[in-house]
Amino acid sequence: MSSLAVRCLALASLVTLAAPTFAATPPSAEVASRQLVEAVTCKRHLTPAQFAALAKVLKPTELQAYGELSDGEYALTTPLLVLGQPVNRLHLYDGANGEDSIDSYTAYFSTAGIEQIAALAKIPRNEAGDYTLEVGRHDLSVRQDEGQASIACSYDLR
């Protein structure tokens, strides 16, 4: 082989070694939707970064982008069904950014009321008048936030 061919092969090998490795393919919208629903209903513990990545698969409008020093809020262009009811917004709270170190994920319902969501989630009203249920080490709660019924899971409280 000529020295030019040898140099070209060597250069091609170096370029191949220096090329970035690509991450695993992102999940489908169906998988992302299922895992987000599981996260807001205390059935799947995700890290805030995982939650943000799954929300981005659904191609929402980021009302507030998730970053190392901020929480993320996502307006969904296509509603996500949680407990059979449409959700138009998701919010993640990264406990590492706050004082309590408790991660929390919230889904905001576009049409359903608080009593309807509590009934669907099988969360009875407690003595304080709140809808909160202990799910292992986590709390699942239904409340009225910013004029909308919401369901939220706060992880690792106990």
Summarize pLDDT for 91-123 with one digit per residue, the tens. 999 888 777 789 999 999 989 999 999 999 999
Quick one: pLDDT at residue 70?
58
Quick one: pLDDT at residue 59?
74
Quick one: pLDDT at residue 66?
59
On whether the CB atoms of residues 113 and 149 are closer than 8 A, the answer is yes
Average pLDDT across the chain, whole number? 82
Quick one: pLDDT at residue 19?
39
On whether the CB atoms of residues 74 and 40 are closer than 8 A, the answer is no
Quick one: pLDDT at residue 35?
96
> How would you class 20 by CB atoms within 10 Å of its CB: exposed for 0-12, middle for 13-18, buried for 19 or more?
exposed
Quick one: pLDDT at residue 75?
86
d(Cα 18, Cα 53) in Å, to the nearest integer? 26
d(Cα 131, Cα 128) in Å, to the nearest integer? 9
Quick one: pLDDT at residue 15?
39
Q: Are strands 148-154 and 104-109 parallel, antiparallel or unpaired?
A: antiparallel
d(Cα 136, Cα 115) in Å, to the nearest integer? 23
On whether the CB atoms of residues 42 and 153 are closer than 8 A, the answer is yes
The parts of the chain modelled with pLDDT lower than 50 are 4-22
Quick one: pLDDT at residue 32?
92
Nearest one of 62, 54, 117, 58 to 85, comparing CA atoms: 117
Quick one: pLDDT at residue 106?
96
Q: Tell me, what DSSP letter sits at residue 97? A: G
